[in-house]
Structure 1
């Protein structure tokens, strides 16, 4: 178990540092991967990986997608404890508290929870699966002065709005969390359909990222230069005098 945990942390740090190196990233950390002490460890791990912000939510495990029905909510005191732990553990991380209460507890429940999380130290609030412009505006009106985040996922409960429209409603941060995955999956379906139809990939090559573009994206040449510099600095020891 210790070895597996160490491997998970090492993998998170390795890929996180690569991903976060050139831009500020916000990480979705579900329910915090455990209780308060686990949240503290999570915060330090993602900070070490280079993340700028995380959000944690008030569902019970096993959690559901925020836009599905029958979500089970934890006692708000549970997320209060986790937010408190996250704020205590962080060095610079921006802590966002997500509440899924709008669907089952209504606007009053969502606002009440959000205020508790804000009092616990959350830097911003994320009301999930709010299903109309009127609800989005009401939530923002009842949380004056609090930074708010909106989720513009597709095929969910929230209607389509632009970043400018969210801004007008009082939401200074917007995420499109699954958009790139959905586009990529659709492209892969088209690729394999073409291979099945044509017996090869020759008709879809122009739609692909080239090898040079891939290497530029992952920074391969930087790693090659680093490797070469390390090799060059190794100086063999000469024989000792007799």
Structure 2
């Protein structure tokens, strides 16, 4: 998967990725034709804990979710591993597990613990020198796996755009493959980032209602961004659809008349029921004797 993702990065077009938060959203993205996906920490925190992206997810919970998602699809997955869950030694442990799970890339950010969603107020960042050591630790831990390392800085809000750009440059020099300057606050910010880092692969994060103006992939490609992600679009759409469905059920005491549902057979196809039916038939066992009895 790492090689497959690196091949995608060699293409001249900007790569458009949807954020996913569970296996269903991942499988839908693959079926619709996306070539790669990434996990949204915001989405996983909300969907698995019912809590905001305030650093509540542990490394174990994030890796468990990301590992299951990666296993459910045949396209590369980029995992949001927040701050790496500690110091450089913790980053080494986390990245080692990421490689073992067959994940294609990671996003590693420079916030202080507990971290927050990149579009929340009140963020604080660690010294750039400390994050450089985390990046070097991640490069060490990936070994020969070719894991793609996306270094994220949240310095724009607390320290200003110039410091964020300087950190991005330093993180790239430390060994990161792609630079992610989180939460630019205007089109001018995005233009300044691309202009200041012309030879650095750049990552743009498009959150509806967030700090950054939401542009199209074509617009961001013209600016010079290599990866554009829409991390919460699927989560927001699914939440709205579920709200509408449950409201209809509450008001009508039935789902009759609610048309925005996939059919039972369609959902069976999505979760590969025909495949498992075939396996069930292939390995049918006799029901003549209860378990544990030989007759």
Question: Do these two structures clear the TM 0.5 threshold for a shared fold by scoring above it?
Answer: yes
Root mean square deviation of aligned Cα: 2.3
Q: 2:87 aligns with which of 35, 40, 59?
A: 35
Mapping of residues 102-121 of structure 1, within 5 Å = 102-121=156-175
Mapping of residues 15-54 of structure 1, within 5 Å = 15-18=69-72, 21-54=73-106
Q: 2:181 aligns with which of 127, 130, 133?
A: 127
Kindly indicate whether the alpha-carbon contact (under 8 Å) linking 1:28 and 1:56 is maintained by their aligned counterparts in 2. Answer: yes
Q: 1:197 aligns with which of 241, 245, 251?
A: 251
Report the TM-score, using the length of structure 1 for normalisation: 0.85
Report the TM-score, using the length of structure 2 for normalisation: 0.70
Q: Residue 152 of structure 1 aligns with which residue?
A: 206
Q: Give the helix-richer structure, 1 or 2.
A: 1
Q: Residue 239 of structure 1 aligns with which residue?
A: none
Asked if 1:221 is matched to 2:242, the reply is no
Q: Mark the structure with the bigger radius of gyration.
A: 1
Q: Which has the higher contact order (CA 8 A, sep 6+)?
A: 2
Taking the aligned partners of 2:61 and 2:158, their CA distance within structure 1 comes to: 38
Taking the aligned partners of 1:143 and 1:130, their CA distance within structure 2 comes to: 14
Kindly indicate whether the alpha-carbon contact (under 8 Å) linking 1:27 and 1:54 is maintained by their aligned counterparts in 2. Answer: yes
Once the two structures are TM-superposed, the CA of residue 72 in structure 1 deviates from its matched residue by 1.0
Q: Which runs of 5+ in 1 are unaligned?
A: 233-242
Count of residue pairs the alignment pairs up: 226
Residue 85 and residue 226 in structure 1: after superposition, are their counterparts in 2 closer, same or farther (change >3 A)? farther
Cα offsets for 1:71-110 (capped at 9, x unmatched): 1111112211111111111112100001111112112101
Kindly indicate whether the alpha-carbon contact (under 8 Å) linking 1:13 and 1:45 is maintained by their aligned counterparts in 2. Answer: no
Q: Which runs of 5+ in 2 are unaligned?
A: 1-57, 286-295
Taking the aligned partners of 1:14 and 1:127, their CA distance within structure 2 comes to: 28
Residue 6 and residue 141 in structure 1: after superposition, are their counterparts in 2 closer, same or farther (change >3 A)? closer
